[in-house]
Amino acid sequence: MQIDQLKRREFITLLGGAAAAWPLVAQAQQVRMRRIVVLMGIANDAEAQARAVALHQGLQVLGWTMGRNIQIDYRFADGNAEWIRVYAKEAVESDPDLIIAQTNPVLLAAREATRIQPIVFVQVSDPVGFVENLARPGGNITGFTNFESEMGGKWLQTLKEIAPPVARAAVLLHPETSAHAGFLQAAETASVALDIRVTPLGVHNAEEIERGITEFSLVPKGGMIVAPHPVTRGNLIIDLAARHQLPAVYPFGFHARDGGLVSYGVDQVDQWRRAATYEFSNPQVEGSYPVPA
């Protein structure tokens, strides 16, 4: 799900739009290396690498090649709140042409670090609060949102469809992520018609995840929906759900590939590929940023 780009004039200035009027030879002589800092809230694992490859592919199609006219620096926070803040501050201080922020906590840290440098976000849930509105983000932030708050109700409906006996549903969430309050509210609204009692399980780390799921599982007819967040990303939740025989609905495909019962969400890798168009628009479209020399 995408929202409009930053003001085109600002981005053209950022990306050297004035060079479009130069002779081709002069443009080749004057081109400089553009630099992007990518702040990932997750670990540097296979899923993260797949997203990086997709981003590079999207940029390559538009004429931007690593090491020739663009440099991309990655930072992986692995869900660590302190690392996220440090990396965001370092990214801003290094003065890149663009910052890409993945996940709500990373975007929050980047926004707190700068209100000037352009930020493109990816895999952010319900970005209202980060931007003025979805149609016209304003400011220095734009990007791709993965879930609106109504998904909380969709996940609960999916849980009931795959496990009709479920009468209790834990919503595994990160309490400080504002979008999760919307997921919880949507699930609670849907629970009336589905005859399911919803219980929020706020977690910050593996210890809280294990304790919360174990205690919830003591009463029968339970199930779970898992809100997207770096802290809910690993295999621990999948393993606990299997151990305690809790049917669960997860937000991303990798959860199902790793053994989770079912996932319902967006194609994350495709979002990263499409994110390239927000950084450097298609040079074949009139009024877009110039083809790099």
Domains of the chain in sequence order: 8-146+268-279 (3.40.50.2300), 151-263 (3.40.50.2300)
How far is it, in rounded angstroms, from Cα 51 to Cα 236?
A: 22
Tell which residue, 258, 102, 240, 87, has the closest CA to residue 172. Answer: 240
- Report residue 124: phi and psi, to 5°: -115, 130
What is residue 135's predicted lDDT score, i.e. its pLDDT? 62
What is residue 175's predicted lDDT score, i.e. its pLDDT? 94
DSSP states of the chain: -B-PPSPHHHHHHHTTGGGGGS-HHHHHHH---EEEEEEESS-SSHHHHHHHHHHHHHHHHTT--BTTTEEEEEEE-TT-HHHHHHHHHHHHHT--SEEEEESHHHHHHHHHH-SSS-EEEEEES--BTTBS-SS---TTEEEEE---TTHHHHHHHHHHHH-TT--EEEEEE-TT-HHHHHHHHHHHHHHHHHT-EEEEEE-SSHHHHHHHHHHHTTSSSEEEEE---GGG-SHHHHHHHHHTT--EEESSHHHHHTT-SEE----HHHHHHHHHHHHS--TTSTTSPPPP-
Tell which residue, 229, 222, 167, has the closest CA to residue 202. Answer: 229
Q: Tens digit of pLDDT per residue, the chain (293 long)?
A: 544 444 434 433 343 333 333 344 444 445 578 999 999 998 898 889 999 999 999 999 888 888 888 999 999 999 898 999 999 999 999 999 999 999 989 999 999 999 999 999 998 887 777 776 666 666 788 888 888 899 999 999 999 999 999 999 999 999 998 889 999 999 999 999 999 999 999 999 999 999 999 999 999 999 999 999 989 988 999 999 999 999 999 999 989 999 999 999 988 888 899 888 875 543 332 333 333 43
How far is it, in rounded angstroms, from Cα 200 to Cα 127?
A: 21
Q: Say how many C-beta atoms besides its own lie within 10 A of residue 161's C-beta.
A: 12
What is residue 21's predicted lDDT score, i.e. its pLDDT? 37
What is residue 185's predicted lDDT score, i.e. its pLDDT? 97
What is residue 277's predicted lDDT score, i.e. its pLDDT? 80
Sign of the Cα pseudo-torsion (247, 252, 253, 259, in order): negative
pTM value > 0.75: no
Beta strands 34-40 and 70-76, pairing class:
parallel
| Cβ proximity of 123 and 103 under 8 Å | yes
What is residue 247's predicted lDDT score, i.e. its pLDDT? 98
